[in-house]
Structures are given as structure tokens and as C-alpha cells.
Chain A
Amino acid sequence: MSVPESGLPAGPARPPTAPRPQRALRLVPTRMARFPALVVTSLVFLAGVAAVFLFADLLAPYEYARQDLLHRLRPPVFLGGQPEYLLGTDELGRDLLSRLLYGTRISIFVAILGTLIGAVLGTFAGFVAAHLRGWVEEGIMMLVDVQASLPFMLIALAVLAFFGNSFTLFIVIMGINGWERYTRLTRGMVLQATTHGYAVAIRSLGARPLRVYGRHILPNIASVLIVQFTLNFPQTILLETSLSFLGLGIQPPLTSLGQMLGAGRSHLVLAWWIAVLPGTMIFLTTLSISIVGDWLRDRLDPTLR
């Protein structure tokens, strides 16, 4: 039992490089300098987004669909609005702060679920391709090529046009987005890992393929997949918000950041903040994830430094 365990730390995640001590010495100051400012700000912001995702119903001052037709298109407090509507109201007098919080929750929920489905589906397909080889592998990789060569937005729009919109279908579409990258990565790494000493050793100890893949190879390639996840996540957010912005994603009475932005577009002259607030939220979220993702990639993949 101890044999496979000792094989883990020597996996591809951290190859022992010769000039390590020297490199570490040189990198410490720059890394200290790079780590706090931007990355910490992004992490704090993302923690805030996570809190909104979890506690939107507790944080929101009003029900997000509650209308107050006597107080329509009110400006936010910092533009001279009343304190009862901190970020103002939209064309139906709905509280923008509450809508922003609930919209964030829905957008993040859809993005997490979509990215997860894509990651699980893609990783599984990658394992299947690497295990079965032959025609199955050719077929899977062909599909990967097709998906990679077409803009997914186009496929998503076509599916939505023909099947109409439902929340479930929308989530499935989000999930199909991006699976091919996990497949490509997983297949390549599994093929490589099966020739490594540790995988050969476990197999000769009599472990079944499922155990070799699940308990030994998967943990070794997980870091690369996690980086891919952080790269994919903002793209899923952008796909969701784009489709919702076009009026083809999340449908009322539900709300999402993209949908709010799309609806706010018709009030730019009178109340520009209706569009700018959710837009800023989307932008800051994707920006923070990109910054953290870049930093993670630099940390987890030493070959890129």
C-alpha cells in the first residue's frame, strides 16, 4: 500500500529541477511583490462574490421582483438618490441592489454548474479515449476537433432557436461549452502517465484500470485540470451573460447579470446605471478570476516561468 503513495509526490506536478535553490532565492522577492496587491484584491472580491452567491437572500434588502411603480428609475445614493434604494431602481421600480445580488447568484450558479458539467464530461471522455484507443479514440478526438473549430456561441444559438429556451436546456448548453479542452488535456496526460513508473507499478500489483485511473493518475493530473477549470469558468460566465444579454438566456421572472444589462440598454439616456452596474459586476468578476487563474497557473506549472 505504501508503494503507490510514495509515487505521488514525484508526479508531473513538481519535477525536480536542478537550479532550484538559486531560482527560489531570485524569485522570493518578486513573488512576494506580485502576490499581495492584485491577487489578494481579486481573492477578496471573489470571496465577496461567493458570499453573495450563498447569502443573496439574506443580503438583499428587498425581494428582487418586488415592484414599486411610484419610485421608477431612481438614481443610486452616490448620484443623489434616497437611502431606501441604495443603488436606485429600474423601470418598474425594482430595487437594483437586490436584483444585482440575485442576478449575481444566478449567473454564478449557472457558470459553476456549466463548467462542472463540462469538466466532468470532458475528463471522462479523455479517460475513455486514452483507455480504449482505436476507433473510439479517433471518434472522440474528431468531435473535439469539430467543437474546437466552431464558435460555440453559434451552436448554442442554433440549439436555442430550434428547441426554444428552458432553464435545463440552458444549463446543458453551458456544460457542453468547453468540454473538449479537458478531453484533450486528459487524454494526453493519461497516455503519458500510463508509461510512468508509478502507474506501471500499481498495475503490476494487480490494480484494476478504474483504480489506477481514479486513485492514482487522476490526482496526479488534477492540478492541470484545475487550472483549466479556472480558465474556463470566466468564459462560461461570459457565454451566459452574452446569451442572456441578447435575451436568449435566462428568462424573466428569473434574473441574471447579462439579462439586467440587456434590459438596461433601453434606458441608457435616462438611467445609465441600470446597465453599468451589472456590467461592472461581470467585468470585475471575470477580471478577478483571470488574475487569480494566471497566478495559479504560474504556481502550478513551473515550466511556464
Chain B
Amino acid sequence: MNWRFIAVKVFRALVTMWLVVTFSFLILRLSGDPITALVGDQADPGIEAFYRAKFGLDRPVWVQYLAFFGNVFKGDLGVSFADEEPALQVFLNALPRTLQLGLTAFVLTLVIGLPLGVIAALHRNKPIDRFVMTFAVFGFSIPNFFLGILLILLFSLQLRILPSSGAGGLEYMIMPAITLGTAGSGTIARFARSSMLEVLNQSYMRTASAKGVPRGRRIRWHALPNAAIPVVTVVGFQLGHLVAGSIVTETVFAWPGVGRLLVTSVTSRDLAVVQTVLLMVGLTMTLANLLVDIAYGWIDPRIRASSASERE
């Protein structure tokens, strides 16, 4: 049963990856003739044919498609025309900064969001609950580019205590991490609250309290593990928001990561780099989703058991 569940998920993930690669191939082919872009439309037909043969564009489309797959596996993703470096290398150079910022923001999201949600649920309809929920709604309604600018105005231009852009020591990371983490912590807090409330209403919670289990133990051992299950999926979804959010946040704070690289490459139409970022992020996200799915099945045995009848 367990293996069947994982096999279905792995198959889905492989199809998604295949679609991501196909999408990035198609989009490049549909966007116009790269040779015309290279030599101009006034060029001598001989020169055009030479370049066409050089880049393998004289072959049938399906051969090109297969060759593209081969290149993706070899990690050969073209050359950035901005700095003449392999596109993959350009991507890898920017990656550590993004991971650094993204992981910090992710930890911030969980450390703020989870306790707030649980506390709000335990004090339902009390002022603290209202306060947490207001924070949550504000948190995910404020666009991160606007939050970033407000932080810059306050801490860099008014108080002059934090640098407004660039990367360096820890002080450079404070504002980007807050900007990136706020929306997520709002979402997580809300979700943790509703998930916790649902569990608190279950009959086994009443049974536990009738048995005389003390409140602290009831919450820690009966409620929290059950409430955690749906939260895990939302945490998984949060990864996607983190990737999207880092595109904007890195641009606002001139943080030299993948997000900013993507925006500058789109602006200068450095297609090889855009394609590389699309592929790498797409494949990573698919893998991350697969792991979340498997983790989900591992935490909740009921899902493993029902995977066969997953689509009613």
C-alpha cells in the first residue's frame, strides 16, 4: 500500500518535470527564430544556413526536442549573453544568497506563525485571538514590495539603522527576511488556528478530558499531533509563495540572488538564463512537493491507506 502511494506520487512528479522541460523548450521555439535574432533579417542566406547548422536548428523539431532533453540532463543550458558565462553557472552563483534568505524567511514564518495560530485557537474569541487574526489578515494582504518599501523608509531613511540594499553581514538580511516571511506567517497562523480549532472540537478531546487527562497534556499529546497534519501541506505550499515572493523581495532590496537574476534577465531578455532559472526552480519545486506529499503520507497513516481510492 505504502509503495503504491509513493509510486503514484513519483509518477506524477516525473510527468510534471517532463512538462516543465517541454514548456521551456516550446516557449523558446515559439518566441521567434533565434537565428534571425542573432544575425538580423538582412543577412546573407549562406551565413544564416551556417548558423542554423551550427546550433542544430536545421534538424527536425523532434530531434531538437530530444537533443534539448539530452542537454538538460548534461546540465548544458546555453550561455548567458550578458556575461558570456554558462547560464547554469550564473544561476549557481546566485543560488547561495537565495537559499540563505529563503531559509531564514522560512524559519521566521514557522517560528512566528505556528505559535500564534495555536495560541489564538486556545483563546478563541478572546482579545488575543482577535489580535492574532488581525495581524494575520494584515500580514497576507500587504504586498511584499510595499512592506519592503515601508521598512526601507522607516529603518534606512528615517532611523538610519539598517542598510537599504545589497548583501553583506547579518544586518543586510533583517529587512528582506521580515518582508519575505510576513505573508507566510500570516497564512500559517490562520491555518494553524483553524486546524487546531477543528481538533479541539473532536470527540476524542472530550473523551480525554472526561478521562481526567490534564489540559497541558491534552493539548500537547492529543491535539497538536492531529492539528499538525493539515498544516504540513500548507507549509509545503508556502515554499511556492517563498519562491514567488523572493523574486520581488530580492529586487526591492537589491539582494543578489536568483530572484533578482531572473528579473534582470527578463528585462534584458537574456533567454538562456531565464530558461535555466525556470527549469531549475521548476524541477526543485516538483521535487519539494513530492517530498511534502510523501512526508504527509508518512505522518498520517490514513492517507496511505486511502491512496488507492484517492480520486473518488
Contacts and interface: CB of A to CB of B under 8 A. Distances in A.
10 contacts: A142-B16, A149-B240, A153-B247, A154-B244, A154-B247, A158-B275, A162-B30, A248-B267, A258-B145, A283-B142
B153 A242 contact: no
Contacts of A283: 141-143, 146
A159 interface: yes
Given A146-B16, A157-B266, A242-B248, A162 B153 contact: no
Interface stretch (B56-64, B74-82, B280-288, B294-302): B280-288
Contacts of A262: 145
B52 to A, nearest CB: 20
A246 B240 contact: no
A149 B289 contact: yes
Interface of A: 30, 141-143, 145-146, 149-155, 157-164, 191, 234, 238, 241-242, 245-248, 258, 261-262, 265, 268-269, 272, 275-276, 279-280, 282-283, 286-287, 290-291, 294, 304
Given A246-B247, A286-B141, A286-B143, 9 more contacts: A153-B243, A155-B278, A161-B269, A161-B274, A246-B248, A279-B149, A287-B138, A287-B142, A290-B137
Contacts of A276: 149-150, 153
A22 B126 CA distance: 22
Interface residues of B, number: 52
Contacts of A294: 137
Q: Interface of chain B, helix or strand or loop or mixed?
A: helix
A290 B146 contact: no
Nearest to B164: A268
A150 B285 contact: yes
B240 A247 contact: no
Interface stretch (B20-28, B65-73, B108-116, B202-210): B20-28
A268 B153 contact: yes
A157 B146 contact: no
A290 B153 contact: no
A272 B247 contact: no
A162 B271 contact: yes
Contacts of B269: 161, 164
A291 B137 CA distance: 8
Interface string B217-243: 000000000000000000000001101
A279 B146 contact: yes
